[in-house]
Structures are given as structure tokens and as C-alpha cells.
Amino acid sequence: MKTFLFPACLLISLTAQAADWPTFRGADRKDISSETGLLKKWPANGPKLAWLNEDAGLGYAGYSIVGGTLYTLGARDAVEYVIAIDTATGKEKWSAEAGALLTNGWGDGPRSTPTVDGDKIYALCGKGTLVCLNAADGKEIWRVTMDSLGGKVPGWGYCESPLVDGNLVIVTPGGSQGTLAAFDKTTGTKVWQSSEWTDPAQYASIIAADHNGQRQFIQITQQSVAGVNAADGKLLWKTDFPGRTAVIPTPIFKDGQVFVAAGYGIGCKSFKIGPDNVIEPLYESTDMVNHHGGVVLVGDHLYGYSDKAGWSCLDFKTGVVQWTEKKALGKGAIHSADGMLYLLEEKTGTVVLIEASPTAWEEHGRFTLQPQTTQRNAKGMIWTHPVISNGKLYLRDQELLFSFNVSGM
């Protein structure tokens, strides 16, 4: 493994607000870091590079950062590994075999982000093996496969990141035995499977919400959006969502309102979960045709890339477009921290910092990720989402994992 360290860039002011990032889109799955004291404007060449790890493995997996360790998935040879990396130095702490390699025409390897809960790691491999590992050394505690639950590997592999909620870890095997399944997070024993909802798995990650006096898990497939009771997996509500080809973005929930989106010309839909879990439609449109770069809700406004109009801002409650911008930056992924949006263009690796403003596109810096991998599939792009944690911006292009210092303190 090669790691390049830039010591002058390692220190982060103790006065800055630091935040761990335990799973995909953060602990609340809103993709908004609680960090403050970050740079509001970047130097001409972008923020300073703290370190570069050149052996994070192949694939499109994201990363979780907890207690000074970054956890990710990566393929080496014909195996998918969970890999732990020291966030101070970029050096690998350990790696553990997780499952057989997913092969795919858009690039082999894992697509999921591990979830950290206490002293354990939960990771879902591309072919559908869920493993629970010891966070300290990668020792395996238990594993289960999605096919044992009636699931079938989706066309681009299992991509969701496991949700840990209370004593449960929840995933989406899909299929006739039930779309969702919950396990005892300590033993791996199945607690329930949502037999009333049997859509095949797609690619989004589950969110948890408290509403109408019930804890529920919300997920989206290519046929529907639904909520199930967290205690027993019983179906609470369901509404149609006719996706096409692949449904990927994570649902968004606020004050009883749900927002979902998809690519391939489908667009977005929003609705209220009313009393007695009756669905109240709010709007449907093609103003946010979001493929897989994600959508974030900052305040009362949604931000993300729409295949129709480019980078877009919508009013969450009404769906009304506030602004669009297509010339400044192409399609890609989004992340938010400290009132700013971090945008990553998938084709070029260009990273742009803008204000999370409903008024207009207001840019505050950009740079292009360098170096870039030579191992990426010709059909693949830079698809791993950006993350801010503990004053650092993390970016990935296959085996290349970058840490940039974005603390303004």
C-alpha cells in the first residue's frame, strides 16, 4: 500500500465542531454534516491535501468515519474486503474478507457504505452477503446472505448501506419472502421480514422515521414507496412509484412529508403520511430527475442534479423550482456541511463549493481531483459521494482515497 502524507495539513483546530459519519448519508441519512468552522471559500487550487491512499480497492463504495478510523469496502483480486484506514495518516489498519467479487459491465466491486455501530461494522457486499465485523480488528462475528432470504442480486449489484436502528440491522433483500428484513445486530438472528411487501430490491438505502406515534422504516423500489413498522415489519402504508431501469436516491422525510426521486426520465414525487397512515399526494414532476448523485434537504429547499435541467433547487413543500444551473458543472453527487454544498462532477472529478442558497448558484471555489485512477472501467465514472467529517473532505476514485483539509479554523 502506498500512502502519501502531508503533515502540515493534519492539524484541525480544537475549536471547530467535529462530527463522525457512521453510515451512508450520515447518522440521520440526511447527508448534511453537523460540522462548523469550515472554509467558506477555497484557494485557487482547492483545499490542501492531507493524504492520499492508493490502495483502497476497486469499486464505488462509500466510507464511514468514526473515532479516527475510516471504514470502506474495496475489491482486491476476486474478493471484496472491508478496509479500515487511520484518518490521521491515511495508513491501513486492517482489512477483512467480506464476500466474493461482484462483476459488472460498469465496473467490478462493491457499491455500498459500511455502517458503524459501537464496536461493530456492518457491510453489504455487491452479491448480497451481509457481514458483521469487530471494528477494532475486522474479526467476523456473523454473516447472512440475501439469497437465503429470497433475494435476487439486482442488475448492478446490492448497493444499499445497512441501517442500524436500536437493536436491529435492516437491509433490503427483496423478493417473495419480503422486501425488507431485520436482524438482531448482535447475533445475526432474523427478527422479521416484511412479507406483506414483496417488491424486488433496488438500490436506495432505508431511512427511519417517527410518525403517527410509530417508529417506521421507509424504503423505495421500482414499484412503490412504503413504510413498515420497525417492531415487526408490518406494512403501515404504500404508494405507487413506477420507476424505470434503476431507482437509487435515498428517500427524504420531514414533518410527515416524504420526497423521492429517480433517474431515467422518471422525476420526483412527494406526499404526506396523514392520520391513520393515509397517503396525501402533494406533487409529482420531472423537475428533479435525479439518477444517483443524491438529493439533500437544507432548510426548506431541495438541492441536487436533475437530468432535465442540471443542478437544481426546489421548494420542498411545493416542488416549485427556485433555480437551475447546467453550464457551470455537469452531473454528479452532492453533500452539505456548514451552510455549503459540495458538488462532485462524475465525468471529470471536478469538485465545486457553492452556498446552500435558494436564491441562486453562488460558487466559492473549485478544483479537479488529481491523480485519477487508471483502473476504472471505461464505462465507469467517479461515483462515490463526497463526505465531510472532522474537518476533512473525503473523496474517492476507485483505489485512490483522498483526504483534504477544509477546516477554516
pLDDT tens for residues 97-132?
999 999 999 999 999 999 999 999 999 999 999 999
- The stretch 36-55 carries a mean pLDDT of 97
pLDDT higher than 60, residue 299: yes
Nearest to 161 by CA among 294, 35, 53, 19: 294
Distance CA 178, CA 181 (A): 7
Mean pLDDT in residue range 393-404: 98
Flag whether pLDDT at 150 surpasses 90.
yes
Q: What are residue 9's phi and psi, to 5 degrees? A: -105, 5
pTM: 0.95
CA dist., res. 170 & res. 206, Å (int): 8
CA 302 to chain CA mean position, Å: 16
pLDDT given for residue 274 in this prediction: 96
Please determine, for residue 18, whether its predicted confidence score (pLDDT) is greater than 90.
no
Reading the block at residue 336, the C-alpha cell is 452539505
What is the band of 78 on the pLDDT scale with cuts at 50, 70, 90? Answer: very high
Burial annotation 13-45 (CB, 10 A radius, 16+ → b, else e): eeebebbbbbbbbbeebbbbbbbbbbbeebeee
Residue 406 near residue 394 (C-beta atoms within 8 A): no
Calculate the average pLDDT of the chain.
95
Residue with cell 412509484: 241
User: The domain at 26-405 falls in which architecture?
Assistant: 7 Propeller (2.130)
Please give the grid coordinates belonging to residue 343.
Answer: 458538488
Mean pLDDT, residues 137-153: 98
3-state helix, strand, coil in the chain (%, to 5): 0, 45, 50
Q: How many helices (H) and strands (E) does the chain have?
A: 0, 34
Side-by-side strand order, sheet with 224-229: 207-211, 214-220, 224-229, 235-240
Sign of the four-CA dihedral 147, 170, 249, 334: negative
Question: How far is 275 from 385, CA to CA, in rounded Å?
Answer: 36
Residue 7 scores a pLDDT above 70:
no
Backbone phi and psi for residue 149, each to the nearest 5 degrees, phi listed first: -105, 10
Q: Is residue 178 within 8 Å of 193, Cβ to Cβ?
A: yes
Average pLDDT over residues 220-234: 98
Neighbours of 244 (CB within 10 A): 11
pLDDT per residue over 161-218, tens digit each?
999 999 999 999 999 999 999 999 999 999 999 999 999 999 999 999 999 999 999 9
The C-alpha atoms of residue 326 and residue 310 are separated, in whole angstroms, by 4
212: which 3 cell numbers?
403517527
- What integer is the mean pLDDT of 15-36? 86
- The one-letter amino acid code at 210 reads D
Check whether 379 has a pLDDT greater than 50: yes
> In the structure, what pLDDT confidence band is assigned to residue 5 with cuts at 50, 70 and 90?
very low
CA distance 317 to 319: 6
| 230-248 average pLDDT score | 97
